[in-house]
Chains A and B, each alone.
Chain A
Amino acid sequence: MSSMFSDLGLHEAILLLPEITMLSGIVALILIPNLGDATMRIPLTRIRVPVLIGGTRFDFTSNPRLPNHVTNAVLFLAFFYAALLLNPTNLSEYSLEGGPGIGNLLVVDEFSRVFTLLFTSALLLASMATATRMPAMHDVTIPQESDSPETADSKVMALIDNRRQVDFHILLLTTGLGMSLMAMANNLFMLFVCLELASLSSYILVAFHKEVDVGGEAGMKYFIVGSVVSAVGIYGMSLLYLWNGNLDMADLAASWSAMEGIDPLAGIGVGLMIVAFAFKVGAAPFHLAVPDAYSGSSSPIAGVLATASKAMGFVALIRLLVIVTMPSSGQAVWMLAIALIAVVTMTWGNLAALTSDNPKRILAYSSVAHAGYMLAAMAAIGSGLADASTTSMILTAVVFHLLVLVLFKLGAFLVLSMLEAEGRGHRMEDLHGLAVRDPAIAVSMFVFMLSLAGVPPLSGFLSKLLMINGIVSVSAGTGPASATSVLSWAQGVDPVFWLAVAIVLNSALSLFYYLRIGLVMFFETPESDSPLKSSPSLEWPLSLRSVIMICATLTLLFGIGPMSESLLDLVSSAVDSLLSS
């Protein structure tokens, strides 16, 4: 650990700019709201000098929107730096002679920076949506429709005029910091610590609405289940340590491929770690707390859980499965387990979403189903049929899917967040007739639903197509070429092929509930005719409505045309940087 600090120089600082930005954001959030006109008397004199900390706060520092503005700015800067660092020439210019590693713990490469991009953009969207949404005290209520504009405004002001704003945003930033560091971790221990930093912050974020019973309960459940599986994971990690003597991933990978058969210590250790990471991605049967957590938290936070947090779990899984425990040839030991989990997960998620009447729970289950699709793609990598190029292709598809999920999954949660702002969003009836109340938002929501269902030409289609294409291209070649009929071909093909079939069937099933949301938005009569309130006093240059519409537009643009191609190129070179290291 000491080597890490001794290595820290200017180059490392530049490579870690996004993290440093977030860290200074946290410090700023602690300091700035506490600035006041306090003075201190120099001992033995009568001279009082201002010390700035404490006293009566200045108008500026007590501005309830300040934490939000700071967080937005910080996250945007972090996003910007991460994008700058994505450029391989920038990366190589600042990387050290001994490779891109910092100490033996962190690797700054395109792969980790793509994920930094993902995490910061998801958190930025959530933070922007939270600007006016923070309940302050017990007696403060969310504005009702019947309220006059003045009353509604004053309620909103009361809602946000509180120190809890600061707490909330600090937690957002620590989540981002944890995730971002975690994506760079080159050591299982480091990976786990960062994962926990992000997870613990997110548990609190889920429970932040303690005024509402479901909020506290959801957070508590999420925390209990989460800590149990974390304990399981740490136990597994300790077994791996026992087996190998250190937790450096390259070292572990070397030992793993040198191992004859499967050492029980290593096998159990990996199994236990899969449990921990499967909980993070929301795979069945570890996902049960997920729908509760999503519906109990505020929508933007649920969106963060569904996108950034899930992506974090997948980074961990990719590192563990593809980097550490992938044999040089033949089927990986975890392949069958992951494949079964994938099929169970996608079916469970889709089935459970089918009859749910709470849009947030539907989205939660849909997020479970999507985890199943991506796990299926991972299983195809582990089948041993994939060569280097198909492995990279499938990983590209998974990472691309995680990236575009930010647009349409989080976008859908942002729409629900607009409904939440008027005290709705927990029942299907709240979506009724949204098209009449706010056509642009309803159309955007419909775009998100179609993209989640995988309808061309949206980006959700492209990513799902790439995953299915990856699975099919590794497996379809195994079908006997002599087969004369489809049936005899199907009997001979490698079982991995059926993962693709499972994805397709599940996608068809999922259309039922995705289209139902579209149906009620466009064809049901709304419960109230008033236009949707766009967060009454939001002073951010971009209103939440326009953010949602930007998400919808990007959902389309990343699905077809030059933008999608350049994003795919970016992701594919990031994946290559991971696989070549």
Chain B
Amino acid sequence: MGDSKNEWELLVPIVPFLLVAPSLKFLAGWESVEAAFLIVVVPLLTFPAILVVGQIYNGNETWKQRYKEGGIFGLGALSLSLSIAIWIIYDYVVGSAHFEAHSVVDPFSWLTFDVIEQTGTQWEVSTGFADIGVGVWIDSVTLMLLFVATFLCFLICWFSLGYMNTDKINEDSNHRFYGEFVLFAIGMFGMVLADNFLWLFIFWEIMGLCSYLLIGFYYWKDSAAYAAKKAFLTTRVGDVFLVVGLLMLYDIYGSLDFAVLFDNPSTGVGGAVVESGELNWALIMLFIGAVGKSAQFPLHVWLPDAMEGPTPVSALIHAATMVNAGLYLVVRMVPFVDVHVNGVAGLEEFALTVAWIGGITAFMAAAIAFVQNDIKKVLAYSTMSQLAYIFTGLGAGLLFLNIDEHHAGYFVIGASMFHLFNHAMAKGMLFMASGSVIHEVHHAHDHVRELSEKYSTNEGDDHGDFDPQDMRNMGGLAARMPVTATAMMLGSMSIIGIPLIGGFWSKEGIIAETWAACLHEEPLMLVPAVLVLATAGMTGFYMTRMWLMTFAGPPKSEVVGHVHETTPWIKEPLIILSVITALGGFALALLGASDYLGDPHHAELSYHGLLDTLEHAFLPEDSYLRLVGWTTMLLAMVIGPVIASRIHGGRLIDGVEASPLVSWLVDLSSRFGSQDVSELADSQLAEALQRRLYFDDLYEVALAKTAIPFAAFSAWFDANVIDGVIKQIESNSATGSVQIRRITTGSARDYILMAAVGMISIFALLWGVSN
């Protein structure tokens, strides 16, 4: 256990990185957009540097202590990305002249394809058939994601300095962690900034690769290797559809550039009018890609297992960045659907698909989260559920836009994106807080084991299967970990949607507008609307349950007594994100963030719309929506948490006092009486939820019946037919080779003989040709 003071002097190497953005602005006079490429390029240079230097200096003390095995460099590069992102956002929000409709940095040509076509009896070469360049595309969607990604990557990297570098198991392999971490960040930043779908896809795949590498960071553990493989393959299913969707888009529009596609989506290649049929399918294909990446039903199975990775990775992939990529992709499709500006009418099926998938996932994931005991798994299912909210909102928004209800549409899309922001901040923090809990419990456990080995020799080795992630080993930590408990409380409140905290505003918007879509426009929206409403209460239950099991009640294992919140580098990100969650979301909501994010050209961030915002949230004109709104609040704030308190609440043990910020909650939780649910916990439903509704088993059986026999056949075919043919060629060639080398006898006489043979052959050939 080190001391809890942070090693601030280690941050000195970061200063030059931080100075880049100001010096470009004030000394070199660059525009923020011109510097945008640095967001990707600088990490791109840092990533190989960390790996190479780390390999060379592996085990070196200075490298370990001063540079945190490369973490400091990673942090530097990410801080530069963050500073430039903030600069761009500032310019955008204050309305700098360089952001008109969309700002595109001129792309430079990367690949040019020529195509040879046979027309009649002629072969024609058309040059520049496809021209694929690299550029930067910035609009309000980009900015929101860019901020979330750069900011959270930076904080999580910071957190990792504490989490990763103090654990013996990671020693001497952290450069691999930071290298992959930075590469992952490159993938996310690049995807967000890309100005066409091809580059978006390339960076998307870089992320996929890094998620595989990072989830399998402890590759020697079978479970980690399995989880990495599962995550990779599951998302791959979605990616195949994504590629198909991209090809269909290319077929329709003859380009994948945003500038071409979004300019007028109702006009295809060669000025043809775009019908909704093929486009509908193209968008659904793209959406399946998003489903894979964002872990939605039915491609959700990888996310819970992905918790095998180190906790910062969970925070990075499953909260901050990668899962948001799917949402980003769907938001990018808004121009196709928005009939108010050149969109293509008749895409309701697509919008409904999005909303339904969202609703189903939200409910299902929340239900499974009820019975999870692993703190990270609860958060994983919560992530799925919350992302599903956003998908539902986007689905409703797309539906509104497609039938030209653009005010409602923009609002709910803005609300969804605002929820993305709130969720990313809260969930990133929750994961880091859970990491903090796990880390300290783990250390405490090591400490306890040392003690027990010291003082008692006859105690059995019952610590061998101690799981530091299992909430049944915790309880009462509110007293031991004040910062973590507070952070986790605020994060949970935001996720639940307690009024006035960030998540409330966006979730309220989504649920209300989904119901509005159902009531006023499209009866088929009823299913997602009911499901998201029910999920609001369920969220209240499982988040409260998680907090209470971890922090309230009496300690459930002796380890708890030895937990201390001492590791450096871990607390700062928690505090920063707590403030953002508690106040930032609130402030942004009052500034009208939902309106602004949905339609930045007509809305602005200001307090003028304050009353409208409040009214929209609490007292909408429509009486149905008022009912829905108040029901949501009742479910999320009262019913869910109270039930959770009755089951899991309770005071800390006597003589221990939690900090005042959280002690009220512990007290409150003990006042609702208690309820025994052991009968319910043994029921078949609970069993089914424990087994994750049998999806994993189903997939495994399906794969065992289809893919595995096919793979076995392919392996046989490869080994026998393909290899066989090649080996036959090889052995025949070898025989020929031995024969032909016999001619090279080594005697000059024979050489001259052969030359004579050659000469006579030449004569014969010349003679034959000339006659």
Contacts and interface: CB of A to CB of B under 8 A. Distances in A.
B59 interface: no
A389 interface: no
B741 A356 contact: yes
A262 interface: yes
B750 interface: yes
Interface in A352-369: 352-356
A324 interface: no
Given A268-B763, A286-B754, A336 B769 contact: yes
Contact of B748 (A224, A271, A279): A224
Contacts, number: 101
Contact of A288 (B734, B737, B754): B754
A429 interface: no
B762 A221 contact: no
A337 B765 contact: yes
A286 B757 CA distance: 9
A481 B119 CA distance: 10
A275 B737 contact: no
Interface residues of A, number: 44
A352 to B, nearest CB: 5
B737 A355 contact: yes
A38 B750 CA distance: 53
A272 interface: yes
Contacts of B734: 354-355
Nearest to B755: A286
Contacts of B755: 225, 228-229, 232, 275, 279, 285-286, 288
A482 interface: yes
Contacts of A229: 755
Contact of A352 (B740, B751, B765): B740
Contacts of A267: 766-767, 770
Nearest to A262: B770
A74 interface: no
B758 A512 contact: no
A337 B766 contact: yes
B733 interface: yes
B723 interface: no
B736 interface: yes
B738 interface: yes
Contacts of A333: 766, 769-770
Interface string A264-277: 00011011101100
A447 to B, nearest CB: 19
A354 B733 contact: yes
A336 B768 contact: yes
B743 A482 contact: no
Given A289-B751, A335-B769, A482-B121, A275 B733 contact: no
A334 interface: yes
Contacts of A331: 769
A512 B754 contact: no
Interface string A227-245: 0110010000000000000
Contacts of A355: 734, 737-738, 741
Q: Is the interface of A mostly helix, strand, loop or mixed?
A: helix
Contacts of A275: 755, 758-759, 762
Nearest to B736: A351
A221 B737 CA distance: 23
B744 A285 contact: no
A333 B754 CA distance: 23
A225 B121 CA distance: 53
A71 B48 CA distance: 42
B167 interface: no
B765 A225 contact: no
Given A288-B751, A334-B766, A336-B765, A352 B741 contact: yes
B746 interface: yes
B677 interface: no
B730 interface: yes
B752 interface: yes
A340 B757 CA distance: 14
A351 B737 contact: yes
A57 B759 CA distance: 52
A19 interface: no
B734 to A, nearest CB: 5
B741 A285 contact: no
Contacts of B763: 268, 271
B762 A225 contact: no
B58 to A, nearest CB: 16
Contacts of B768: 336
Contacts of A340: 761, 765
Given A285-B758, A352-B741, A356-B741, A228 B121 contact: no
Given A278-B758, A351-B740, A512-B733, A228 B752 contact: yes
A225 B738 CA distance: 23
Interface string A329-355: 001011111001100000010011111
Interface string B106-136: 0000000000001001110000000000000
B770 A220 contact: no
Contacts of A341: 758, 762
B751 A337 contact: no
Interface in B653-694: none
A285 B740 contact: no
Contacts of B736: 351, 354
Contacts of A336: 765, 768-769
Nearest to A356: B741
A546 to B, nearest CB: 20
Interface string A298-339: 000000000000000000000000000000000101111100
Contact of B746 (A232, A292, A334): A292
A193 to B, nearest CB: 22
A411 B206 CA distance: 36
Interface in A487-530: 509, 512
A152 B762 CA distance: 53
B690 to A, nearest CB: 48
B720 to A, nearest CB: 20
A236 to B, nearest CB: 10
B752 A224 contact: yes
A225 B752 contact: yes
A36 interface: no
The 6 closest A-B pairs by CB, nearest first: A262-B770, A354-B737, A337-B765, A481-B121, A288-B751, A355-B737
19 contacts: A224-B752, A225-B751, A228-B755, A261-B770, A267-B766, A268-B763, A278-B758, A286-B754, A288-B743, A291-B744, A292-B744, A333-B769, A336-B765, A336-B768, A352-B741, A353-B737, A354-B736, A355-B738, A481-B118
Interface of B: 118, 121-123, 730, 733-734, 736-738, 740-741, 743-744, 746, 748, 750-752, 754-755, 757-759, 761-763, 765-770
Interface of A: 220-221, 224-225, 228-229, 232, 261-262, 267-268, 270-272, 274-275, 278-279, 284-286, 288-289, 291-292, 331, 333-337, 340-341, 348, 351-356, 481-482, 509, 512
Given A262-B770, A352-B740, 10 more contacts: A225-B752, A267-B766, A271-B766, A351-B733, A352-B737, A354-B737, A355-B741, A481-B118, A482-B121, A512-B733
